[in-house]
């Protein structure tokens, strides 16, 4: 992953502008000089200077005096035009024209400057300027591969959501797809975009439930619940109502999340009390953890508080939970004569085919580690006789320091990876690996 610290730029003073002019006047290509006003060039140079050896990507939003709107991207590698057209479309804006040039500053790698003229209705343009900082942050997250590029990103401009909030909403959508196979991403996206204010309320309900810094949590949660009920009463389409109520129900059924942990986790995870979900395929697990990141999704189902079973690498991108649920049921039958109940987990890697065969093995291992870490993020520690909850995790369930993970289809060679993750946590004093470890079975039990 690239080092993606977002730059900020102070005001340019006259002497600094003259210094920039002397340094760069012969470095820019003619096409750039012809298309760029001097004051805009000075700001571009300031961005290029800030990127040297620090940031691989930056962006600017420009309102030209002619009334045109431009988005400028600065990077060491050009973004494909077809990809950017799709990205802009997902934000609800249209790409009208692109102009590309490059500049080389001394021995540094050339900086590619891509200027996109974007259009849309006057209302769309206003939203773009109002949410300019959120828009730039989301572009940055897309470039850094920490945000999924899909049409829900339109909510960045419609509701002013941050890129992290967008990822959270995408994770709630993806979980809803797994517990309600009748739905599709297209259908849920349509509902959330059509009722974007209500989607924003549901998102903030989740934040109110789990933000460690919030004061008077019960009051905030109650007020948001009342606002959501009032808004739902205005939804006339039955299917839209079911989708929105389903998402609110997921939030009310969540008992833990790693969303507020620091540093920011590579994947968002939340733990569900399955007894509180209104509609869920049977058999209904005791608890489950859902994990979501741009390049990995996964689920871990437990039949009871003490339950064991394997994790598998699934190829069923659309309904991997259905596969895992069936395996959990089988595991519970197999475990009937021993103490632990059945558990099962699985993960998928979307767009794996975009990687070469040579790259795929390492890529799968990387995503597997992200999945394991996310499961551990929500698992308690036991220190002597005390149970210690994870930092920055608001708890709405009982103590739960138990997590067992065994190898399964596609993960038999990954036992050492999971062990290494646990051992790294041992070194930090937070996790101890259970002694019950076999070459093809990894058992991680959060103790200390």
**Beta 268-273 vs 254-257: how paired, if at all?**
antiparallel
Q: What is the largest CA-CA distance in the chain?
A: 81
Among the options 271, 344, 445, 446, which is catalytic?
A: 344
Active site residue 344: yes
**Beta 296-302 vs 341-348: how paired, if at all?**
antiparallel
Q: What is the 3-state secondary structure (H, E, C) of 283-351?
A: CCCCEEEEEEECCEEEEEEECCCCEECEEEECCCCCCHHHHHHHHHHHHHHHHHHCCCEEEEEEEECCC
Closest CA to 6 of 70, 56, 63, 62: 56
- Specify whether the CB–CB gap between 3 and 55 falls below 8 A: yes
User: Helices 415-427 and 357-377: crossing angle, nearest 10°?
Assistant: 40
How far apart, in whole angstroms, are the C-alpha atoms of residue 365 and residue 261?
Answer: 23
| Size (the chain), residues | 448
Active site residue ranges:
344
């Amino acid at each position: 992953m690239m080092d993606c610290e977002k730059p900020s730029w102070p005001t340019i003073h006259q002497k600094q502008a003259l210094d920039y002019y002397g340094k760069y006047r012969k470095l820019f290509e003619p096409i750039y000089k012809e298309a760029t006003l001097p004051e805009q060039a000075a700001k571009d140079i300031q961005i290029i200077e800030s990127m040297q050896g620090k940031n691989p990507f930056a962006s600017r939003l420009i309102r030209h005096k002619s009334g045109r709107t431009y988005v400028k991207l600065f990077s060491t590698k050009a973004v494909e035009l077809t990809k950017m057209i799709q990205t802009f479309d997902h934000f609800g804006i249209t790409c009208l024209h692109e102009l590309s040039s490059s500049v080389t500053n001394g021995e540094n790698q050339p900086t590619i400057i891509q200027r996109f003229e974007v259009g849309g209705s006057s209302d769309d343009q206003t939203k773009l300027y109002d949410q300019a900082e959120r828009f730039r942050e989301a572009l940055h997250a897309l470039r850094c591969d920490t945000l999924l590029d899909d049409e829900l990103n339109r909510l960045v401009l419609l509701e002013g959501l941050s890129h992290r909030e967008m990822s959270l909403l995408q994770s709630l959508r993806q979980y809803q797809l797994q517990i309600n196979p009748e739905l599709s991403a297209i259908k849920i996206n349509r509902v959330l975009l059509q009722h974007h204010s209500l989607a924003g309320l549901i998102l903030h309900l989740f934040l109110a439930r789990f933000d460690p810094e919030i004061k008077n949590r019960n009051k905030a949660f109650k007020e948001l619940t009342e606002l959501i009920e009032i808004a739902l009463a205005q939804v006339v389409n039955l299917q839209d109502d079911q989708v929105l109520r389903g998402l609110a129900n997921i939030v009310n059924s969540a008992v833990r999340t790693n969303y507020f942990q620091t540093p920011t986790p590579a994947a968002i995870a939340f733990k569900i009390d399955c007894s509180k979900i209104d509609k869920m395929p049977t058999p209904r697990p005791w608890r489950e953890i859902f994990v979501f990141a741009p390049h990995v999704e996964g689920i871990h189902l437990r039949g009871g508080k003490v339950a064991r079973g394997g994790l598998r690498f699934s190829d069923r991108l659309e309904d991997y939970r259905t596969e895992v649920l069936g395996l959990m049921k089988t595991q519970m039958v197999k475990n009937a004569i021993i103490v632990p109940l059945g558990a099962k987990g699985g993960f998928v890697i979307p767009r794996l085919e975009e990687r070469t065969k040579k790259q795929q093995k390492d890529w799968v291992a990387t995503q597997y580690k992200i999945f394991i870490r996310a499961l551990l993020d929500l698992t308690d520690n036991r220190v002597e006789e005390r149970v210690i909850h994870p930092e920055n995790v608001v708890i709405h369930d009982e103590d739960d320091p138990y997590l067992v993970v065994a190898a399964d289809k596609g993960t038999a060679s990954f036992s050492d990876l999971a062990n290494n993750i646990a051992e790294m946590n041992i070194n930090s004093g937070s996790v101890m690996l259970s002694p019950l470890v076999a070459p093809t079975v990894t058992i991680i039990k959060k103790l200390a």
